[in-house]
Amino acid sequence: MKKYTDRTIKTVVRAATVIAIVLLLFSCSSGDSEKSEASNESRGAYSMPVGGIESITVDGTDYYFGYSHIEDRVITRLFSSADEISDYAAKAMSQRDGMHDKAYWLAQANANHLDSELTDREGQTISLTKLNDALLRLKQDSDLNQTIPSLVIPSHLGYLLEMNCNWPDEEPPLEIQTIAVRLGLEADDRSPWLDESAAILSGRSPLPKGASFNDARTLFLWYWKILVENQDHDWNSQLGFI
């Protein structure tokens, strides 16, 4: 009876050991799986655009958009409400510490609407009506010989359009480069072309000797056309530039 009892005990012990090993292996496998899933979730969060919510007010209408302060670029279309973009951000945007819920994004949208991280409240308030009126006149007058004082591009608008432009990878035509030089600009640096030509056309800067208002008009319209037609996230049609 004692031998039978010892044999039984040994069998039970061996069985218990096997079960313990199996459970241990399962636990390790499960842990690895959870770590893998967590890692995948983390990678998923950071594969999304990392940025914050900013806003502008155009002709009395509020717009909200995603902006990457790390890359200095616009990362979303324009949304018509803080609620709408917060819902989007909770699903498709992240910050450096990962994803956040809608309430978090809504609080940020409301805060940055009043206190932008890109500009002051005055800079956020943009009038397109005056600009479009000036652009219409500029396009219609093919023999321009006087200034258009209302042709002023709000600085914050110009900045956002530049940060949202998918500029074509090609050199400006030789004719355009020649005009830029006549206006006192460098042919191989187009970054100041829009602002400088607008300043001449509006009368804020003098017309350089040997150049004409039509030179400034041609350079401005060439640059403006490329800038607005190559806006990412459909900003061009949303804002309705002329």
pLDDT tens-digit series, residues 20-30: 544 555 454 44
Q: Is the pLDDT of residue 3 over 90?
A: no
pLDDT tens-digit series, residues 44-74: 445 789 999 999 999 999 999 999 999 999 9
Helical residues (DSSP H) of 93-168, grouped into ranges = 102-114, 121-124, 128-140, 155-163
pLDDT tens-digit series, residues 153-198: 999 999 999 999 999 999 999 999 999 999 999 999 999 999 999 9
Classify residue 75 as left (phi > 0), alpha (psi -120 to 50) or beta. Answer: alpha
Kindly list the domain boundaries of the chain, sorted by start residue.
1-47, 52-123, 128-239
Cα–Cα distances in angstroms (integers) from residue 91 to residues 37, 43, 96, in the given order: 18, 14, 15
Please state the separation of Cα 20 from the chain's center in Å.
Answer: 54
pLDDT band at 142 (very low <50, low <70, confident <90, very high): confident
The pLDDT assigned to 241 comes to: 87
DSSP 1-30: -HHHHHHHHHHHHHHHHHHHHHHHHHHHHH
CA distance 66 to 89: 8
Longest dimension (CA), the chain: 120
Give the mean pLDDT of 6-35: 48
Say if CB 199 and CB 187 are below 8 A apart: no
Exposure string over 80-109, b if 16+ CB within 10 A, otherwise e: eebeebbebbbeebbbeeebbeeeebbebb
Q: Is the pLDDT of residue 31 over 80?
A: no
Give the mean pLDDT of 3-25: 49
